[in-house]
Structure 1
Amino acid sequence: MGEIRLEINELIEDLKFDEKGLIPVIVQDYKTGKVLMHAYMNEEALKKTIETGEAWYYSRSRRTLWHKGETSGNYQKVVDIAVDCDKDTLLLLVEQIGVACHTGNFSCFYRSLKGGASFIFHLENLLRERKKTLPENSYSAKLFREGKEKILQKLGEESIETIIAGMNGKKDEFIYEASDLLFHFLVSLIEENVEFREIIEELIRRHK
């Protein structure tokens, strides 16, 4: 069966809000598919989200509506709203402006039991902080201090070493060198003021 398109009134009337009039919301970046955050809406927040095209939530701690990005500038432009099969959870597909998490991470789910893709975004944010603060005894800070030419030189060296490792056919060696390459690639992105997310978006565009 295909997707079912709902009308706004039908959507709201059909939902199962809890005893406090709330419904959980999972927020997902529509370009990367990454889960950004978990929040709650009441009926008013949902209506304002639909009317404005930007995400509004209900804060259980403050007991009030809040407009995502109102103070930080990290707005969420709503692309679509989906309902789960039990009608008690919403999925918000959004275009995330800036980052979703108050910690500065793109997603609130930046910590992972087994690492994974979320670690790339964590490492990216860490490297951006290194460039800003330039702490002593930091290899990445040393690269940023030396500038673009040195960074690109290291990127080239790591590329060659990764190719050589691949030609040698040793998996462990290839993984080691490819990890160095990815690290220096992230450093070069930050030096060029490019976000890793933008690379993903370009790959998605090519795939489409």
Structure 2
Amino acid sequence: MTELKFDAQGLIPCVVQDFYTNEVLTVAYMNKESLEATLATKKMTFYSRSRQELWRKGETSGNTQELVELLADCDQDSLVAKVIKAGPACHTGSESCFTKAVFKSADQQNFSVEDLYKLVLDRKENPQEKSYTSYLFAKGNEKILKKIGEEATEVVIGAMKESKEETTYEIADLIYHLLVLMAYNKITPAEILAELSKRQVVDKKVKQETLQ
């Protein structure tokens, strides 16, 4: 705290990032009081420049942000907070405040499981007549589960053949159908990562106890 450099108004910018996906959620300002409150409660608390008062994220909306990690840059004059969010980060209802595209290279395309999940979820909420994904949602849980069983079997067959190409292809099919199942049951990738993270912590604890 003593090494951080606040500006003339006693503020320091803080970039808030999703702990699981690394998506940038918002940029806000903190003063010493709001930073102390954040560290004490592990709930993101900022300083409103327009209202000139502290505000805890989600105090009225319920969309809180739990602090996991706080980093300062090399000059100690800006922060990055990695958080676990409960609900959208933006007051508009968007998951992130950064949704307006200014520039995007046609040569480099980003792709993630999160992006695919969002596309799958859109096919659920906005069905399209010729969409296979929308077709699966229309058929329901039983059809989705049947496809997962089929794809899992094909992964096993590909692996038994020791064919990297075939196994890769079938794993991609399986992951896609798992994402459909997740969207159908309102399970997010972040919740899966959170569950895996818990297991990693337990595994480390077991290893430590074994070494002792």
For the criterion TM > 0.5, the same-fold answer is: yes
Q: Please state how far the C-alpha of 1:40 moved relative to its aligned partner.
A: 3.1
- Count of residues in correspondence between the two structures: 192
- Given that 2:21 and 2:190 are in contact with CA atoms closer than 8 Å, whether structure 1 keeps it comes out as no
Q: Please state how far the C-alpha of 1:176 moved relative to its aligned partner.
A: 1.9
Q: Please state how far the C-alpha of 1:134 moved relative to its aligned partner.
A: 2.1
Identify the match of residue 196 of structure 2 among 192, 200, 203: 203
User: Between the two proteins, what is the percent identity of the paired residues?
Assistant: 39
Moved more, 173-182 or 41-50: 41-50
| 2:72 partner amino acid | V
Q: Please state how far the C-alpha of 1:77 moved relative to its aligned partner.
A: 2.3
Q: Where does 1:30-179 land on structure 2 (aligned, <5 Å)?
A: 30=19, 32=20, 34-43=22-31, 45-46=34-35, 49-50=38-39, 53-57=42-46, 67-69=56-58, 72-100=61-89, 104-105=94-95, 113-116=108-111, 119-179=112-172
- Secondary structure in 2 matching 1:14: coil
Indicate the residue corresponding to 2:13 in structure 1: 24
Q: Please state how far the C-alpha of 1:183 moved relative to its aligned partner.
A: 0.5
- Given that 1:99 and 1:107 are in contact with CA atoms closer than 8 Å, whether structure 2 keeps it comes out as no
Change (3 A) 1:105 1:160: farther
Q: Please state how far the C-alpha of 1:139 moved relative to its aligned partner.
A: 1.1
Q: When the two structures are superposed, what TM-score results if normalisation uses the length of structure 1?
A: 0.73
| 2:187 partner amino acid | V
| 1:76 partner amino acid | Q
| 2:29 partner amino acid | M
RMSD between aligned residues: 3.3
Indicate the residue corresponding to 1:3 in structure 2: none
Change (3 A) 1:33 1:115: closer
| 2:157 partner amino acid | I
Measured in 2, the distance between the counterparts of 1:191 and 1:206 equals: 24
Query: Any stretches of 5+ residues in structure 2 without a counterpart?
Result: 202-212
Q: Please state how far the C-alpha of 1:151 moved relative to its aligned partner.
A: 0.4
- Given that 1:24 and 1:90 are in contact with CA atoms closer than 8 Å, whether structure 2 keeps it comes out as yes
Q: Please state how far the C-alpha of 1:33 moved relative to its aligned partner.
A: 6.8
| 1:92 partner amino acid | A
- Given that 2:26 and 2:89 are in contact with CA atoms closer than 8 Å, whether structure 1 keeps it comes out as no
- Given that 2:18 and 2:82 are in contact with CA atoms closer than 8 Å, whether structure 1 keeps it comes out as yes
| 2:132 partner amino acid | Y
- Secondary structure in 2 matching 1:41: strand
Indicate the residue corresponding to 1:189 in structure 2: 182
Query: Any stretches of 5+ residues in structure 1 without a counterpart?
Result: 1-10
Change (3 A) 1:104 1:42: closer
